[in-house]
Copies of this chain bind each other. A is one copy, B any other.
C-alpha cells in the first residue's frame, strides 16, 4: 500500500476535469436507474419524463441536458446488460487458458452482470417492442455478436477435445438463454444468494458442454 504523500501526489496528478465528468456520469446513471424502475413498474408507454424528473426531484430540462428524449433513455437501459456482457466475454477470451477456463470465466462474469443489472434486462425483455427500430436492431446485433463469439469459444473447446455437443451455435443460444433467464426469476434477498446462482450456472453450463461418459 502506498504511503499517504505518494497517494496524495497521485490524486493530485488526476486531470482537473475528472470530477466533472464523474459527476455527469453519476447523474446519467441515476436518471437511468429511476427511469428503469418506472418503466418496469408501469411500462414505457405509461411513464412520462415528468414522472422520472419528479422521482429524482429535478426538472425535465435537467433530464434533457443528459438525454435527448425518453427513447434514448430506453435505448441506454436496454443495451447496458448486453454491452457489459460483451466486454466481459472479450476480456475472458483475452486471458490465456483452456476453453474450459475461459467458458467458466465468461459464465461467472455474465451471470453476475445479469444479477446486478436485472432491472435493466427485465425492461429490455418487456420493452423491446417500444425501442426505436434502429436501436432494437443494434441491440439485437450486439446479442447476436455475443452468441457468435460464445459459439466460437465452444467450437474451439470441442476441437481441442475439451467439450462435446452437437451444434456450437445452438449450444451458445441455449447458454445465453440460461443466463438471460436469471433476470426473470432471481430475487435479491430471496431463497438463493447471488453466489449460489452463479456457481449453479457454472456447474450446469459445464455439464451442457461436458464430454459424455464413454
A residues whose Cβ falls under 8 Å from a Cβ of B: 40-43, 45-46, 125-130, 165-167, 169-171, 173-174, 177-178, 180-182, 184-185, 191-192, 196-197, 200-201, 203-204, 207-208, 210-214
Contact = CB atoms under 8 A, between A and B. Distances in A.
A204 B208 contact: yes
B184 A170 contact: no
Chain A interface, >50% SS class? helix
**Copy number of this protein in the oligomer?**
2
Nearest to A171: B204
Contacts of A46: 45
Nearest to A201: B174
A185 B178 CA distance: 12
A185 B177 contact: yes
Contacts of A174: 178, 181, 200-201, 204
A58 B191 CA distance: 49
8 contacts: A43-B45, A125-B125, A165-B204, A171-B204, A177-B185, A207-B210, A210-B213, A211-B213
Contact of A200 (B126, B128, B167, B201): B167
Contacts of A127: 126
A181 B143 CA distance: 14
Contacts of A169: 191
